Structure 1
Amino acid sequence: MNTTVTQDMSFLHLITGASLPVQLVMLILTMISFLSWWHIFRKLFVIRREINKTDEFEDIFWRGGDLYSLYQRANNSRYESGSLERIFAAGFGEFNKHSEDADTEVVMESTRRAMRATYQREMDRLESHLSFLATVGSVSPYVGLLGTVWGIMNSFRSLSSMTQATIAHVAPGIAEALIATAMGLFAAIPAVVAYNRYATATDRLATRFESFMEELSNVLQRRSFR
């Protein structure tokens, strides 16, 4: 008797023996979890690369390198530049285009607009799919709870046709229901952790980009007065 109960309570048996709505909930959560992990690993490499590229470019820039050489490097099609380099290239390119204009304020305003537009595009790229992770983290537990509620309802409904109910009759249905909750948490927890970590990392990069734009504006403004 104990062996039969143990076998019936196996993880695979509970999933295959679950009712169709609960199995559908489990399938949805499995797909969401796979998509979530895909974006987690993909975003990890993107942000790590961006931090390294930003460190590298800031180091070269503040060592006093020639701005035109940095501009050519950022525009080199064979070289994969980072976000900060593209912001610099947009600003410096716009500055060079209007460097002969007499009105310095007009030139600097145009330069800032060019950098700000590139900054917005780069931040949109870095923040892409973060909203998906946030949605997974907030919705998955409720999807799992839906499967749990449905499984428990089925368990109690099946008890109504029995004259004598034991734990052996109730346990499989409740365990099946709780698996849905566990799967919801399994999908949600990594997504929440990843979202918080990546959101913080992108905020820090945004702060560095904004600071660099202000500093580059000052450098170019001093250069225009020479």
Structure 2
Amino acid sequence: MARNTYGLDDRLTDYLRSLSLREPEILQQLRQETATHPMAQMQIAPEQGQFMALLVKLMNAKKTLEVGVFTGYSSLAVAIALPEDGQIIACDVSEEYTAIARRYWQKAGVSHKINLCIAPALETLDRLLAEGEGETFDFAFIDADKSNYSAYYDRAFALVRSGGLIAVDNVLWSGRVADPEVTDNRTQSIRDFNRKLHQDQNITLSLVPIADGLTLAVKN
């Protein structure tokens, strides 16, 4: 829920992107189209997409999972980084939003890498586990409804292999998690989730202050 890195002013954001961002034209086009969408705030920041693509390449990932697609920027960034035989299982409930994603996946020539599952994500994740897909994924990205973060994470943890990486978006929640006066359900869900992972000795953990906060959890 942050198209820019939280806490950086426009001047520093522009500087960061001018010297770091190597955004393929197709991703730039998607980002520009999404900027006109009524729910444009759901778009991840381009520096976050590039960072996740770097992580995917660094770990030589081939099989990945995404919970929450929206217009497809994160899945497109990851798909471009994957090898030709790489695969993303992408979970979303919106045919409308993902129609934009499908169009750009096709245009980028990566649609064969992405299996879009239009259904509640928990149903898809549970089905994958029931089909014996546990501990077969290299990477998972969670960016969906915050009340279900803990449940999504538990399934993703079971699906990724030892040494696999789970990335979780919006964990700083525009700073609201650190404001004790903010007590709405979504903010509290993220606070509880952050505390749960901090106490989990089965992962190697880092919360990276990029975009709206990105938690990285490596399964031990």
Q: TM-score, normalised by structure 1?
A: 0.19
Higher relative contact order (CA 8 A, sep 6+): 1
Query: Which has the larger share of strand?
Result: 2
Question: What is the TM-score when the length of structure 2 is the normalising length?
Answer: 0.19
Structure with the higher helix share, 1 or 2: 1
Report which of the two structures shows the higher radius of gyration computed on alpha carbons.
1
